[in-house]
């Protein structure tokens, strides 16, 4: 039996979805998986024969009884993913669907698609979900396929020369101003450093203010070392048009969460975040009720309290940078598929 994993191609270098899939694929390849590139391009105008040919090209190296981890979404239209799943099952290939984002929950105007997603996922042998709450939500929608929970993302780095971060009364945030408008409207008297794409729709008209500093985009290794200088990493969500971000954050796995961990800095998260228990269990940060709560916490925390969290974060950071959580997940997948089926 050969083991395969799909990987997203065709997205911008700045795409979080692309970077998360590439990161997981790299770790999987180190564990013996073979990469199956999945290009992101329009398939709505494909005929049935064209769509089948496209999918058979992707699956050309796969044989009966092999195993595929399908990273979703592929960010093609859902007709493509349905056809891909159907073809995998026609070929009697073991299928694990790795849900990294769920379109019907991400975007309110796509919720009507949920029954089709459930029908497709029920053809898999196993589903990977980002949180127990997401798994329970899918069960309530009719999912019958067994699932396992991802945990957190890893964040590989080329170097490991990270120091214990310095105590600073400042907050770091990775995210664009459009999706996270609280950052552009920051009115707290604690510095917020915002790392976002350069010269794009996110920051062309946004300028630094007294306590909000536009840092722009930094290449991954540079960003990690910049964050490692100190302060806190913020994972925060708020509802915007067509996206109930606050509720969705209670079910998904944030990639920036693991970026902060890789950099070794303590984290502040909004209450209800899917990984809140992880923060509390390992003592790596603070769970806040509001942005006012965030600011007050940073104003009042002591140097000693910060250093305890920084030391706790250092222990988790080494695991995140080594791919520990992805390797653990891959072992659990194989245990479920090969031993318990």
User: At residue 266, what are phi and psi to the nearest 5 degrees?
Assistant: -60, 155
What is the Rg, in whole angstroms, of the alpha carbon atoms belonging to the chain? Answer: 21
Which positions ≥6 away from 67 have C-beta within 8 Å? 1, 2, 3, 4, 93, 94, 95, 96, 334, 337
Counting residues of the chain whose pLDDT is more than 90, the rounded percentage is 77
pLDDT at 57 over 60: yes
Superfamily designation of domain 3-152+324-339: Glycogen Phosphorylase B; (3.40.50.2000)
* Average pLDDT estimate for 218-239: 93
The pLDDT, as a whole number, for residue 244 is 82
Closest Cα partner for 190 from 246, 231, 223? 231
Closest Cα partner for 212 from 193, 233, 226? 193
* Average pLDDT estimate for 234-247: 85
Domain positions in the chain: 3-152+324-339, 166-322
Superfamily designation of domain 166-322: Glycogen Phosphorylase B; (3.40.50.2000)
- Tens digits of residue pLDDT in 76-104: 989 999 999 999 999 999 999 999 999 99
- Asked whether the CA dihedral 240, 242, 247, 251 is positive or negative, the reply is negative
Which two structure tokens, joined as six digits, stand for 131? Answer: 């949180």
| Mean of pLDDT over the chain | 92
Please check whether the two domains, 3-152+324-339 and 166-322, share a CATH topology. Answer: yes
* Average pLDDT estimate for 203-213: 79
H/E segment holding residue 266: none
Within the chain, how many helices (H) and strands (E) appear?
Answer: 13, 12
The string over 282-314, giving b where at least 16 C-beta atoms fall within 10 Å of a residue's C-beta and e elsewhere, is eebbbbbeebeebbebbeebeeeebeebbebbb
The pLDDT, as a whole number, for residue 245 is 83
State the DSSP code for 154. -
The pLDDT, as a whole number, for residue 204 is 53
The pTM for the full model equals: 0.93
Cβ(158)–Cβ(182) under 8 Å?
Answer: no
The pLDDT, as a whole number, for residue 93 is 96
User: At residue 317, what are phi and psi to the nearest 5 degrees?
Assistant: -55, -40
- Tens digits of residue pLDDT in 23-35: 999 999 999 999 9
The pLDDT, as a whole number, for residue 232 is 98
pLDDT at 250 over 60: yes
pLDDT at 158 over 70: yes
The pLDDT, as a whole number, for residue 289 is 96
């Amino acid at each position: 039996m050969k083991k395969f994993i799909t990987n997203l191609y065709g997205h911008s270098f700045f795409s979080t979805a692309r970077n998360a899939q590439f990161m997981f694929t790299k770790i999987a390849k180190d564990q013996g998986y073979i990469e199956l590139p999945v290009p992101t391009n329009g398939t709505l105008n494909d005929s049935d024969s064209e769509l089948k040919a496209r999918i058979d090209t992707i699956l050309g190296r796969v044989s009966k009884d092999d195993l595929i981890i399908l990273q979703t979404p592929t960010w093609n239209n859902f007709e493509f993913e349905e056809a891909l799943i159907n073809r995998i099952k026609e070929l009697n290939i073991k299928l694990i669907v790795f849900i990294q984002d769920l379109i019907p929950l991400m975007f309110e105007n796509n919720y009507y698609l949920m029954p089709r997603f459930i029908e497709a996922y029920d053809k898999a042998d196993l589903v990977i979900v980002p949180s127990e709450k997401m798994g329970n939500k899918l069960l309530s929608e009719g999912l019958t396929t067994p699932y396992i929970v991802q945990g957190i993302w890893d964040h590989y780095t080329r170097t490991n020369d990270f120091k214990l971060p310095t105590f600073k009364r400042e907050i770091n945030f990775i995210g664009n101003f459009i999706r996270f408008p609280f950052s552009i409207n920051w009115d707290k008297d604690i510095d917020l450093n915002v790392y976002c794409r350069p010269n794009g729709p996110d920051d062309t008209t946004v300028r630094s203010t007294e306590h909000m500093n536009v840092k722009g985009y930094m290449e991954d290794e540079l960003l990690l070392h910049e964050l490692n200088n100190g302060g806190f990493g913020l994972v925060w969500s708020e509802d915007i048009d067509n996206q109930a971000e606050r509720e969705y954050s209670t079910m998904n796995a944030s990639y920036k969460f693991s970026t902060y961990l890789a950099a070794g800095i303590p984290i502040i998260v909004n209450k209800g975040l899917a990984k809140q228990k992880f923060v509390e269990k390992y003592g790596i940060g603070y769970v806040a009720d509001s942005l006012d709560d965030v600011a007050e916490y940073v104003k009042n925390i002591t140097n000693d309290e910060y250093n305890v969290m920084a030391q706790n974060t250092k222990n988790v950071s080494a695991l995140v940078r080594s791919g520990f959580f992805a390797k653990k997940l891959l072992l659990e997948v194989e245990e479920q598929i090969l031993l318990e089926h």
